[in-house]
Structure 1
Amino acid sequence: MQQLDMFSDDEPPRRNPAPTPPVTARPALADLPPPPAPVTIAIPALRPHRPHESNPPVPRPANRRYVPLDRNPHHAAHDIAEAVEAAWHGAHGGNRIEIPAGVVAALALWPLRGPDAPLAAQWWLDLNDEDFLAALRECWARWWIQRPDLIDRATPLHRWLEDERPERTRMQAVRAVARAALTGGMLHLTSASPDFGGSCDADVLGAVITVMRSHGAREALAEIHTPPELSELMARMLITDQPLTPGMKFDDPASGTGGLYRAAAQHMRELGLNPHDFGWAMTDIDPVAAAGAAVNAILWDLGPHVLVACANTLTEGNPYIRASTEWREAHERRDRMVDEARFLARIRQMDAVLTGVA
């Protein structure tokens, strides 16, 4: 297999391919139970009143109504990111940018897809705080069953959900972020793709992380955001110059949230190629950016051959050796937990049968 390095100045492609994720002893999802239904939480309006609930009804803002986006998707993503930043800081959310980025990521990952997916925005906005957090946790758990390697890499974006009862100020900021993203039309960019596959129109998560990170933090990380239009031009030029054949592997040693791969996958689909037939390796020194790249690999439907590393490529050399080990461990941990869940389910069934007989 050949490797196409999209950042190389050399004419021929390099012959040192990034390692392919190891293959487990059994197919990834061949014998796993089907994923949960997209919506498993009751609509609050249909639930009986619970007097002990601490969250009073929130007045409905006047700007909850939104219309389908009819402007440049990259400009729309930037506008959504600025709205998210204003909502987070306006609600005194603090300096942990992984929390608002994680909210945006979970909303984008919600499994409902297709032209009607944006209608889920009002469902999200009508949830109370308890059900809202439960829906976020369910979304991450569902994707962990399918892609434990990527969801483990995205841990910085969902670790904060381990707090069962977040403080009220944080919860208000989280809800403000969700309202800003949804009313800004985010689901039109992340869910309503024509083929129901991955929507590569824009990198909303990358825009959110870039806008929310301070200038000083970007300088400390040597972070330079490549404009999406430039990424598209680079991808078209390089893909045109290097004929693509299934099995090629791409290596981006400073991927950020994977913007160049978004453009490459989009151009591939225009050419009738399937991104699933190629390998995608990404590395970034920033854990939040690497987490965003892992989420984007799902949103853009890059396929099963994705390896995301969080490392400094200048000091570690080949970060994909460690990333491959982490890939294998994530799948083995998922398999163990699924096997344990099956065993517990069988025990409960046996108890139910014995109880019925008695």
Structure 2
Amino acid sequence: MRPIGDLSVMLKSRNSQNFLERTVNQAAQSVTTGIVADKTEHLGGSTLGLSLLERKATLLKQLQANLSEALIYANGQQSSLEYIRNVSEDLANSLPPISQQNLQNELVPLSERAEADMKNVVQALNKAIAGKHVFSGTENNNKPLIESSTILSQVKIKTAGYNTASSVISEIDTWFESVGGGFDSIAYKGSSSSYINIPIGVDVEAEYGFRADDVVVRQLLKNICKVAIATDPSSSLSSAQRKLVLEDAYVGLIESGSPLITEQANLGIIEENIIESKDRISQEVSQTELMIQNMIGINQFEEVTKFEAAQKNLQILYQIVARQSQASFSDYLR
């Protein structure tokens, strides 16, 4: 049985060891993270201010993520609309010279071009941006449009047998424009009434209101279809009637350019607002994190010195305890 004096020394050694180990661990954690290990102790038990700042930082970072997502969508839509507008303009610019020439020699290449343009426009509208189909409205897990080949097939079926330009134009217009018609019931698969809204500030949202069922999209697609139908070698239209359909398509393609430009301008405003908000929020995040750092941050040099001193004292204590253990063992053997 150990004397009372030995037990007292052992207890003091154990307390010193626990204190030094805790000091070493806390100092090591502080050096690694750059903040104090025990925030409550450091702040004297008053942590409300810190909690509010940390909550603010969390909300600001969530807002930053929303802004980044919103900007990706805006940039993606802008890129798609720019591409679609270029396709429309290029096809329109190719029509007047052809209508003045012998159309028979141009049927196959122009028909193939129209089909290719139709495919490219549909693909641009169906493109997923950051995993979402942004031209589908709120139903953005699905592509907004069916395959272009299916749309063309449906329109060809609708216009089959007609041999006058007015009849063909009327059937195509009706298929794309009528409520509940072919485009609504067959071609478009997105949301019919909702848009994508992303919070980008207090009571502020970025709204993406342009969908693949927009009037300008219908106008663009129907006029590409008119070019494809007018140049389809199997069509019942005469050369004169084909040219009339092409002339109507040309006017429609030209007219679709202005609404597309307007929509791009609207997107440009959204992009500008998002970028300005991102810059402002980034500054707020930096300021908030600096305030938090000032409250619970450490002096790296002082903390390293504290760590090294505690570690050195702990090593000395280990040596003392080891020697005491050896002495006790020798006493026992005697």
When normalised by structure 2's length, the TM-score is 0.24
- Higher RCO structure (Cα 8 Å, ≥6 apart): 2
Higher helix residue share: 2
Structure number with larger C-alpha Rg:
2
When normalised by structure 1's length, the TM-score is 0.22
